[in-house]
């Protein structure tokens, strides 16, 4: 039996569902029950009342959020090594240091953080709702981490003072995009629309026709009348964009824009993970309850 069929059979036997992030390998997206961004997937996990096991094909912090929001389900991360380097950039010690410097300023954390960090913040946000969350706060100055580029973008959009913590947290994959290379592609495809993720640099945002998260890029591409899109985010999203818009053309803004951690979840590892029910992601108390409050506050603000 082919590996994908074996996975689907095991999935039925074990009442499992497979959730795949937009940056997963094409063959992983193709066997998933849902493909989406981290919060769309966590919400899906909450809706799937019958499921007992959730295979969360993504990276550590996303599986942690799913486990926090679905404490009664077994959440499996197929590859134990799939860790987001950006999430590692903000430690609890660093947060405490900033909290002492700005005791009255609210702390908003991007979901790309470990649960131990989320436990110390007032509210979480995603790249899709960061502007909405910060606008909703009754404060003109906000501590925000860990992505420095997203912090800068939110400052531009809200007009509030956003203090990035740490000073220069970043996504190594999104930093690979360069405006000169996009300009060169524009010469080949003059009618193309340029979509840029807010984790990219300010120079990249400047040349964008549209700045948004992966889910927002999918919505934008669907609605747009354009036929060609130059896309500046992790290459996995192009598989989804092409599947959902077969008549449109999508060009990656830089061929090397691959997140190696996302790609650790191979079909083989998904199969082994489901068969052996490993690697179970569990967030200990009281961290889980505190982090859940910060995630729920985000849901309250954004509905």
3-state secondary structure at position 256: coil
Whether the bond into 166 is cis, omega within 30 of 0: yes
Strand order in the sheet with 16-21: 34-36, 16-21, 53-57, 74-76
State the minimum distance, in angstroms, from the CB of residue 88 to ligand SF4.
Answer: 9
3-state secondary structure at position 103: coil
User: Does 65 contact ligand CIZ by CB under 6 A?
Assistant: no
Strand order in the sheet with 141-145: 123-125, 107-110, 141-145, 161-164
Tokens read off for 221: 């591409």
Tokens read off for 27: 């063959």
Beta-bridge partner residues of 249: 228
| Rounded Cα gap, residues 195 and 205, in angstroms | 9
Q: How many CB atoms are located within 10 Å of the residue 267 CB?
A: 19
| Rounded Cα gap, residues 75 and 34, in angstroms | 15
Chain residues 92-121 in contact with ligand CIZ, contact rule CB under 6 A = 111-112
Q: 105 or 204: whose CB is closer to ligand SF4? A: 204
Judged by beta carbon distances under 5 to 8 A according to partner kind, the member of ligand SF4, ligand CIZ, none in contact with residue 60 is none
Query: Quick one: which of 85, 156, 263, 277 contacts ligand SF4 (CB under 6 A)?
Result: 85
* Per-residue binder mask for ligand SF4 (CB under 6 A), 116-155, x = binder: ----------------------------------------
Beta carbons of 205 and 233 less than 8 angstroms apart: no
Judged by beta carbon distances under 5 to 8 A according to partner kind, the member of ligand CIZ, ligand SF4, none in contact with residue 192 is none
Q: Which of 252, 194, 255, 197 is nearest to 226 (CA)?
A: 194
Q: 105 or 240: whose CB is closer to ligand CIZ? A: 240
Judged by beta carbon distances under 5 to 8 A according to partner kind, the member of ligand CIZ, ligand SF4, none in contact with residue 127 is ligand CIZ
Q: Which window, 4-12, 82-90, 114-122, 185-193, contacts ligand SF4 (CB under 6 A)?
A: 82-90
* Per-residue binder mask for ligand CIZ (CB under 6 A), 211-250, x = binder: --xxx-----------------------------------
Residues that bind ligand CIZ (CB under 6 A): 21, 37-38, 111-112, 126-127, 197, 213-215
Residues that bind ligand SF4 (CB under 6 A): 23, 59, 84-86, 112, 171-173, 234, 259, 261-262
């Amino acid at each position: 039996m082919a590996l994908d069929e074996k996975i689907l059979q095991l999935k039925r036997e074990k009442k499992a569902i497979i959730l795949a992030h937009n940056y997963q390998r094409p063959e992983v997206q193709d066997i998933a029950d849902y493909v989406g961004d981290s919060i769309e997937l966590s919400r899906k996990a909450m809706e799937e009342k019958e499921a007992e096991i959730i295979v969360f094909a993504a990276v550590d912090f996303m599986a942690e959020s799913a486990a926090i929001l679905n404490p009664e389900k077994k959440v499996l991360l197929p590859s134990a090594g799939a860790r987001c380097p950006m999430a590692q950039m903000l430690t609890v010690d660093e947060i405490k240091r900033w909290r002492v410097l700005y005791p009255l300023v609210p702390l908003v954390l991007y979901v790309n953080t470990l649960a131990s960090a989320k436990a110390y913040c007032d509210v979480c946000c995603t790249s899709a709702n960061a502007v909405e969350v910060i606008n909703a706060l009754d404060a003109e100055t906000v501590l925000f981490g860990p992505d420095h580029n997203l912090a800068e973008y939110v400052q531009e959009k809200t007009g509030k003072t956003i203090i990035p913590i740490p000073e220069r947290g970043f996504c190594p994959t999104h930093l690979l995009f360069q405006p000169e290379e996009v300009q060169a592609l524009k010469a080949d495809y003059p009618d193309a629309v340029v979509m840029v993720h807010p984790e990219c640099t300010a120079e990249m945002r400047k040349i964008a026709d549209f700045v948004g998260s992966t889910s927002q890029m999918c919505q934008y591409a669907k609605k747009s009348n354009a036929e060609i899109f130059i896309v500046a985010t992790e290459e996995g999203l192009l598989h989804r964009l092409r599947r959902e818009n077969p008549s449109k053309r999508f060009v990656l803004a830089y061929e090397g824009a691959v997140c190696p951690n996302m790609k650790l979840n191979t079909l083989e590892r998904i199969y082994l993970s489901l068969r052996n029910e490993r690697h179970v992601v569990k967030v200990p108390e009281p961290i889980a309850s505190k982090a859940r409050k910060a995630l729920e506050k985000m849901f309250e603000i954004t509905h």
